[in-house]
């Protein structure tokens, strides 16, 4: 049986739903080519942060011999500025034939979003806007945070003509409403979800330490739930990001309604060739179960098509408690 893995994400025709998510894997052009050879249908670059753009602008505005206030990104290992990021976009475009999706990460409304135009001009095929915000201001209500997110997305949508995806966290009061509002602004895709990297405590040094822990398959559940809840209810494409570690995880994501699946931790652990393992495993599962294309799977267990839609809502909570 011929298996068709083609999908459409952000208006882009892709050979499969599998792609690396934003990570340092893309620093090396050889690794990027290995990902493409292993079946990656697109390359998602790591984020350029709002703070990096602002710091660069601040430094350039200083008179010769002047010094900026205590900004921190210049001292962060591996952090690059806007010019180097544009070069990364250009270099990656030369390295592969698949689409290249750049990424901006921000939390406030401001002129930094105008850098999206430069990213488009550098050759990016699409832009992923990562809204990462830790709400620490006790005086700021959740509605104000969500409204600011809407304004950031509105500005980004106005800044570029290439497809725009928004990467969200699961911690908003109403993920569904925010997704609906973004959909109304004309975003082309929603990526569910980003990961909040939590600092740990070093009890000997009496300080916080940054530690990047890989995801694990248990993180897949919240993503499956929200992909399934949004499938068919927004126009935008849906990408699942986080917790994909096996071909069965890919199948689950497709059944929930994902158009694309982004993989990071599994590739960091097993290497770029693991993309081929996921792709071949998906093909094998589809052959075994008699599915010729992704259309046979996509959304079969979404809210509108699941045999037990209550499992996606409050009923599953009650059932889980009773089973203990």
Q: Answer whether residue 1 is part of any domain.
A: no
Q: Answer whether residue 2 is part of any domain.
A: no
pLDDT above 70 for 321: no
For position 65, what pLDDT does the model report?
57
pLDDT mean over 28-57: 92
Q: What are phi and psi for residue 279, nearest 5 degrees?
A: -65, -50
For position 272, what pLDDT does the model report?
97
Residue with tokens 């292993």: 38
- CATH number of the domain that 26 lies in? 3.20.20.70
Alpha-carbon distance of 248 to 253, in angstroms, equals: 9
pLDDT above 60 for 42: yes
Alpha-carbon distance of 21 to 19, in angstroms, equals: 6
pLDDT mean over 41-67: 79
Q: Answer whether residue 13 is part of any domain.
A: yes
Q: Answer whether residue 230 is part of any domain.
A: yes
Q: Answer whether residue 54 is part of any domain.
A: yes
pLDDT above 60 for 226: yes
For position 104, what pLDDT does the model report?
95
For position 141, what pLDDT does the model report?
92
Structural domain for 297, as ranges: 7-323
Question: How many domains does the chain contain in total?
Answer: 1
pLDDT mean over 293-317: 86
Which comes out higher in pLDDT, residue 317 or 214?
A: 214
Q: In this structure, what token pair is assigned to residue 249?
A: 């995880």
Alpha-carbon distance of 94 to 89, in angstroms, equals: 9
Distance of CA 42 to the CA centre of its chain: 13
What is the pLDDT confidence band of residue 74, given thresholds at 50, 70 and 90?
A: very low
Q: For the chain, give the percent of residues with pLDDT over 90.
A: 70
What is the pLDDT confidence band of residue 322, given thresholds at 50, 70 and 90?
A: low
195: CB partners within 8 A, 6+ apart:
215, 219, 242
pTM above threshold 0.85: yes
pLDDT above 60 for 207: yes
pLDDT above 70 for 22: yes
Q: Answer whether residue 147 is part of any domain.
A: yes
| Plot region of 290 (φ>0 → left; ψ -120 to 50 → alpha; else → beta) | left
pLDDT mean over 135-145: 89
What is the pLDDT confidence band of residue 75, given thresholds at 50, 70 and 90?
A: very low
CA angle 306, 308, 309 (to 5 degrees): 70
Highest mean pLDDT among 139-148, 180-189, 199-208: 180-189
Q: What are phi and psi for residue 14, nearest 5 degrees?
A: -115, 150
For position 79, what pLDDT does the model report?
67
pLDDT mean over 276-293: 97
For position 77, what pLDDT does the model report?
47
Mean predicted lDDT score pLDDT of the chain: 90
Residue with tokens 């690059």: 80
Alpha-carbon distance of 188 to 92, in angstroms, equals: 22
pLDDT above 70 for 317: no
Q: Answer whether residue 83 is part of any domain.
A: yes
For residue 256, count other CB atoms closer than 10 A to its CB: 29
Which comes out higher in pLDDT, residue 24 or 89?
A: 89
Report the candidate in 261, 262, 265, 250 with the shortest Cα–Cα distance to residue 297: 250
Q: Answer whether residue 37 is part of any domain.
A: yes
Helix axes 247-256, 274-288, angle to 10 degrees: 60
């Amino acid at each position: 049986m011929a298996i068709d893995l083609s999908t459409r994400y952000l208006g882009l025709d892709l050979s499969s739903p599998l792609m690396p998510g934003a990570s340092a894997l893309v620093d090396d052009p050889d690794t990027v080519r290995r990902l493409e050879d292993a079946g990656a249908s697109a390359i998602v670059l790591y984020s350029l942060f709002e703070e990096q753009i602002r710091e660069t602008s601040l430094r350039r505005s200083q008179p010769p011999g002047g010094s900026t206030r205590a900004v921190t990104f210049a001292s962060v290992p591996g952090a690059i500025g806007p010019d180097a990021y544009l070069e990364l976009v250009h270099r990656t475009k030369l390295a592969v034939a698949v689409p290249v999706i750049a990424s901006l990460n921000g939390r406030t409304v401001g002129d930094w979003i105008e850098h999206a135009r430069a990213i488009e001009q550098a050759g990016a095929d699409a832009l992923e806007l990562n809204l990462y915000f830790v709400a620490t201001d006790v005086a700021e209500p959740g509605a104000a945070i969500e409204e600011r997110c809407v304004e950031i997305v509105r500005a980004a949508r106005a800044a570029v003509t290439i497809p725009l995806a928004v990467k969200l966290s699961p911690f908003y009061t109403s993920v569904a409403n925010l997704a609906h509002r973004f959909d109304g602004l004309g975003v082309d895709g929603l990526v569910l979800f980003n990961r909040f990297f939590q600092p740990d405590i070093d009890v000997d040094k009496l300080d916080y330490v940054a530690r990047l822990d890989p995801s694990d398959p248990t993180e897949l559940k919240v993503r499956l739930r929200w992909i399934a809840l949004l499938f068919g209810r927004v126009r935008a494409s849906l990408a699942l990001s986080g917790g994909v570690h096996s071909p069965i995880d890919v199948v689950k994501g497709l059944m929930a309604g994902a158009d694309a699946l982004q993989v990071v931790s599994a590739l960091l652990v097993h290497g770029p060739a693991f993309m081929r393992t996921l792709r071949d495993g998906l093909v094998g599962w589809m052959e075994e179960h008699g599915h010729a294309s992704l259309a046979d799977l996509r959304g079969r267990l979404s809210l509108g098509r699941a045999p037990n839609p209550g499992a996606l809502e409050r009923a599953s909570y009650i059932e889980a408690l009773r089973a203990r």
